[in-house]
């Protein structure tokens, strides 16, 4: 549980920093509200995904257990999905379109990580992983 709390604390600190830095200097427009409406639920789902992953979380691709419950019963990589949505929401909310360059780097990197993780999981769990993969999205 220590890693989960560390992740939560890091993301919360980043969210507070961004809100203080960019949230107070601009008026609330429909675009900013839309960005927040994307970022906040994505942030919460990111946290739930991270907590549900538990000890299976690792920075480098490794296969200790195959998590197939909770959010993972529908989405194989919810941390990647919700972190991308969270970043997109923050970019819209902060009204910093040039930050979209983050996606130019982030999305291909995430896709490469997903492929590597899939190879590791398939090597470890074989048909069980392939069946799980068939039943879930991304």
pLDDT digits over 93-116, tens only? 888 888 888 888 989 999 999 999
Q: Which of 76, 7, 79, 69 is nearest to 49 (CA)?
A: 79
User: Thinking of the domain 2-135, which architecture would CATH place it in?
Assistant: Up-down Bundle (1.20)
pLDDT digits over 69-83, tens only? 999 999 999 999 999
| CA terminus-to-terminus distance, the chain | 26
The per-residue pLDDT of the chain, averaged, comes to 87
pLDDT at 124: 93
How far apart CA 22 and CA 18 sit, in angstroms, is: 6
Average pLDDT over residues 116-136: 95
The dihedral region occupied by 83, where left means phi > 0, alpha psi between -120 and 50, and beta the remainder, is alpha
Query: In a 3-state reduction of DSSP, which class is residue 75?
Result: strand
pLDDT digits over 4-55, tens only? 677 778 878 887 887 777 777 778 899 999 999 999 999 999 989 988 988 7
- Sequence ranges of the domains in the chain: 2-135
Q: What's this model's pTM, rounded to 2 decimal places? A: 0.82
pLDDT at 2: 52
């Amino acid at each position: 549980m220590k890693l989960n709390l560390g992740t939560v604390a890091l993301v919360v600190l980043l969210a507070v920093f961004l809100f203080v830095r960019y949230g107070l200097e601009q008026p609330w427009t429909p675009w900013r509200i839309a960005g927040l409406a994307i970022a906040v639920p994505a942030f919460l789902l990111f946290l739930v995904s991270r907590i549900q992953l538990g000890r299976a979380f690792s920075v480098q691709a490794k296969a200790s257990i195959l998590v197939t419950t909770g959010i993972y019963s529908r989405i194989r990589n919810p941390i990647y999905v919700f972190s991308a949505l969270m970043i997109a929401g923050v970019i819209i909310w902060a009204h910093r379109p040039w930050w979209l360059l983050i996606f130019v780097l982030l999305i291909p990197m995430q896709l490469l990580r997903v492929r590597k993780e899939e190879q590791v999981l398939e090597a470890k769990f074989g048909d069980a992983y392939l069946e799980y993969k068939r039943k879930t999205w991304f």
